[in-house]
Structure formats: C-alpha cells, structure tokens
Amino acid sequence: MHNHSPEPAPSDRRRPGDRQRSRDRRYPGEREYSREREYSREREYSREREYSREREYSREREYSRDHPWYALDHAGFIYPALLSDRVSAYYRFQATLDAEVAVELMQQALDALRKRFPYFQVELRKGFFWYFFERNDAPNRVVQDSKFPMQKLSTKKRGAYLYRVRVFGDRVALEMCHILTDGYGALIFFRSLLAEYYRLQGIETAYGEGVFDPREAPSAAEWEDAFSRYATPGAPRPRRAEPAWHIPGLPLPLHTMRVTTGCLSLAAALAKAKSYGATLTVYLSATFLAALQDVQDADPRSQGRRGRRPIRLQVPANLRGFFPSTTLRNFSLFALPDIDPRLGRYEFGEIVSRVKSMMSLAFDPKELGRTITRNVMMAKHPLVRPIPLLLKNFFMRRVYKSHGENLYTSLSTNVGQAKLPESFAAKVRRIDVVLPSTPGLKTVAGMLSHGDALSITFGSVVERRDLERAFFTRLVKDGLRVKVESNLSAVSGKEQDNALL
C-alpha cells in the first residue's frame, strides 16, 4: 500500500463542482493496471450518462471515485452517532474450515485483496457537519479471536480500520462495521478473502460469481451510494408504526456478549418451510415471532391486554434485487412484519400467512421508495445540512430511537446462501453470521447457509436465554434436528441466581 502517488497540492484539489478534472484523476492505489483501467473508464463514461438523475441529487459518487476521502452512504451515516461501548454497529461472518487456519497465508491473502476493495481501506473521521471516510494506508493485521466477538472496537480512532479479520484454530472471522457496507458487500469481501487464501494454498478459483480478482481495478459502480440514485423527491413519507414491545432482561457485563448458534439441515428446513407454503425467510421469521410471543406470554409484566404491545420483527433485505446496482456499500432496507397479541394469541399458521403477506407488501420497489427517499431527503435537507455534527449526533440518536429501535422488538436477518465457489466449498464446514445486539433490542438473530448447513446465530446482551430456547425448541417440535452451541457455557448471573425456577 505504499505505491500511492503523492497527495495533490491544495490548489490542485478538485472542488465539488469540478467534474471534468475528476475524470483525469484516479484512485492512487491502482495505477499499474492502466489498460484495465482504460476499459473500466470507458464503461464508467457510458454509465455516467445513465446516472443523470443521480447527479442532480448526489455528488458523493464523484468524490468517492478518485478522492482520498469520501462521504458515508445514506444508511451508514446514522451509525457513527450511535456508537458506544454497548452499541458497536458491527456484524461478523465466520467460517469454520476443515483445517487449522494458516495465519501467515491469511495475512498474505488479506494484503493482496485490500487494494481491490479501496472503499474499505478507510478510517472514520469527523468533519464539522458530517462524518467522512479518509483513505487509510496503515497495515491491517489479522488478529487473534476472542471469547466475546465484536467488543472493544476502535471505530472512531485515528488510523483504525472499520473491519478486521480474526483467526482462532480452524475458524476465520471477518468483523465488518455497518458504516462501511451491508451483508452483501461484506460477504463478497469474505468470499474473495477465502478464495485468495485457498489460492495461496494452490487451489485455484475462477473469478466472477461474487469472487473478485485482486489484480482487477475496482469499478466506479462499486463506490456508488445507490440510495441517492433511487431517491424520488416528492414521494410521501413511510407510515410510522406504533412502538413495539421489547424483550425484558438484565444486561450481561460490559464488553461481553452471548453467541448461541443452532445448526440444522438446510434441506430439511426448506422442506418444512414448503409444507407451510412459505419461503425459508418467511418460515424462520414466523418462528421468531412465535418465539417472541411465547416469551411475552411468560413475562409477568405483559399480562392482560394493557400490558401488551405489538411484537414486531425487523427483517432486512438486499435492495440490489429490487433496484439494479452493483454497489459494495450499504444498500439494504427492511420489512417490519408484526403480530398484535392484544387481539389474541396467534397460531403458527396465522403468523406464517401474516408474515408472508406483510413481507411481500413491504418488499415492493414503490413502497421501498418511500423509505429510501425519506432517508436521502432528510440528509439533504437545507436546514439539516448546516447543523454542526455535535448537534446532529444528538438528534440522530433521538431519531434512531423513535424511528428505529423503538418500532421493532428484535431483528432477524437471513443472509441466504453463502454461495462459496465449488473449488473450496467442501473445505469450509460451516459459515455463520453473528450480529451483536444493542441494549434496546437485547437479542437478535442472523441466518446463513452453506451447503446443507443452515446456521442460525443469536447475539444477545442479556442474561436470560428464553428467546433462544423458545426459538430452537419450536424448530425441534416442528421435527427439525438442531445442534446448539454457545460461547458462554455455564449459566450464571444475577437473574439466574434470583430465579425461583
């Protein structure tokens, strides 16, 4: 990473409106691939003609292509305001390989891959009005894994990366900050990292299909803030739901979290979902809602209609399926299927059909346009932009509470299939996605499958495990075989010590 051209002199720096000059500059880390670069620039020009609408609203892409700094996208900009010891905004992909990870090779693979993903080689910096990313040339070392993943992160520290690769035994993990990218982008990075790692061991993998060639030049479309492109000014705001019920529970000590993973057969789970006439995501989300209903039923404070509140689940989806884009930055939104227990207890079949309908209503490009537009327009509002960052952070925390966490009980994301290339798929036994929870949501879940292994991982910051238990026992009662493991084996803590049962 030391082959960067020198920094341009201040007078040479491009101003926001100076578009012509920007085309002649390129990202400094990639000058050796000039020919490929030429082709990709040709492509860029034709692309750029398509993007006429985006230009009206956004200059971020212009910055990001060739500047040593670029702006956060319209989903990522909320996270820096929320960061604290208890809210990390990270998530993690972890692969269990069939042999001990060779750390040196993993480091070499990471070093080779880094310049293919220049948009991840950044540090988070504070501007006067907004946070921004600045290019980071520091080495990124593969680090040792810990009992409690995704803790003590130095996201805002100078020179610190917003992702890290961790190794323990036969397990390699990529911890990625949501400010940088969503699960789609992180999974491409992780897949490419594994491909490069196995290439160094002599197992060749064909590029393409979500595996990037480290020698290739990054395309400009990967930098894109796709939210700005698909915002339609004038679209009505999304309807705001009423506050949801939240899981009770005493917190675990600071800098700890419980990870509980359940493994089951993908084929069996798919067959079970099919028997309900649902997709796997709908089936698992419905099971999650049913488990939440069980927990609420058992909660003494939620007895009677007055004490109850709607149980709502956040189910994120990749927007690239609805709006064409190849961006590797955030581009996902969510549906909020819910049940209202004040209307009576829901049977599982009812929940499935409800979730199915609610998700197909929510994942409609026009409906999604409301939220995209709201998010983009809020950030571009002429009265919002000049608010100093300090005040903005305060308001963003409030907005996140009132328009975010407060509206849903928990979060369950189905990343889908890991789609590892054939060449090394058999060498990876399992892949999990781990989500750290927040004090508001307490317990959240992530699902990911590889081959026939479907892994459902709960991340929790509270002592009680009744939600995990309710979820997995529901699957077991449905006839599925589930194998469970956790990073915290012994059950102890204030809540357990005082428990009557």
* Contacts with other proteins, residue ranges (CB under 8 A): 96, 141, 143-149, 151-154, 157, 160, 164, 166, 168-169, 171, 255, 259-260, 262, 465, 468-469, 472-473, 476-477, 481-491, 496
- CA distance to 43, 190, 265, 338, 347, per residue, from 415 (Å): 30, 13, 16, 20, 26
Q: By C-beta, is 354 or 465 nearer to other proteins?
A: 465
Q: What is the largest CA-CA distance in the chain?
A: 72
State how far the Cα of 54 lies from the Cα of 73, in Å rounded to an integer.
13
Closest approach, Cβ 428 to other proteins, in A, equals 14
Q: CB–CB of 223/69 below 8 Å?
A: no
Q: Are strands 428-434 and 90-97 parallel, antiparallel or unpaired?
A: antiparallel
Q: By C-beta, is 316 or 493 nearer to other proteins?
A: 493
The edge-to-edge listing of strands for the beta sheet with 122-126 is: 69-71, 131-135, 122-126
Closest approach, Cβ 443 to other proteins, in A, equals 12
Q: By C-beta, is 152 or 305 nearer to other proteins?
A: 152
What is the Cα Rg of the chain in Å?
A: 23
Closest approach, Cβ 99 to other proteins, in A, equals 14
Q: By C-beta, is 134 or 216 nearer to other proteins?
A: 134
Closest approach, Cβ 492 to other proteins, in A, equals 9
Q: CB–CB of 102/427 below 8 Å?
A: no
Query: Chain-centre distance of CA 46, in angstroms?
Result: 30
Closest approach, Cβ 159 to other proteins, in A, equals 9
Both tokens of 392, joined, read 């903005």
Q: Which long-range CB contacts under 8 A does 281-286 form with residues at least 24 apart?
A: 281/315, 281/359, 281/414, 282/352, 282/355, 282/356, 282/359, 283/352, 284/412, 284/414, 284/447, 284/456, 285/313, 285/315, 285/337, 285/355, 285/359, 285/412, 285/414, 286/348, 286/351, 286/352, 286/354, 286/355
Closest approach, Cβ 401 to other proteins, in A, equals 27
Q: By C-beta, is 323 or 348 nearer to other proteins?
A: 348
| Angle between the N-to-C axes of helices 348-362 and 280-298, in degrees from 0 to 180, rounded to the nearest 10 | 120
Q: By C-beta, is 9 or 501 nearer to other proteins?
A: 501
Q: By C-beta, is 65 or 430 nearer to other proteins?
A: 430
Q: By C-beta, is 5 or 473 nearer to other proteins?
A: 473
Closest approach, Cβ 482 to other proteins, in A, equals 5
State how far the Cα of 455 lies from the Cα of 261, in Å rounded to an integer.
7
Say which DSSP state 211 is in: B
Closest approach, Cβ 441 to other proteins, in A, equals 19
Q: By C-beta, is 379 or 488 nearer to other proteins?
A: 488
Q: By C-beta, is 350 or 478 nearer to other proteins?
A: 478
Q: By C-beta, is 169 or 344 nearer to other proteins?
A: 169
- Give the DSSP letter string of 164-193: EEEEETTEEEEEEETTT--HHHHHHHHHHH
Q: 3-state class of 7 per DSSP? A: coil
Q: Are strands 311-318 and 338-339 parallel, antiparallel or unpaired?
A: antiparallel
Closest approach, Cβ 1 to other proteins, in A, equals 19
Sign of CA dihedral 356, 296, 488, 160: positive
Closest approach, Cβ 193 to other proteins, in A, equals 17
Closest approach, Cβ 123 to other proteins, in A, equals 12
State how far the Cα of 433 lies from the Cα of 41, in Å rounded to an integer.
35
CA dihedral 288, 291, 297, 299 (to 10 degrees): -90
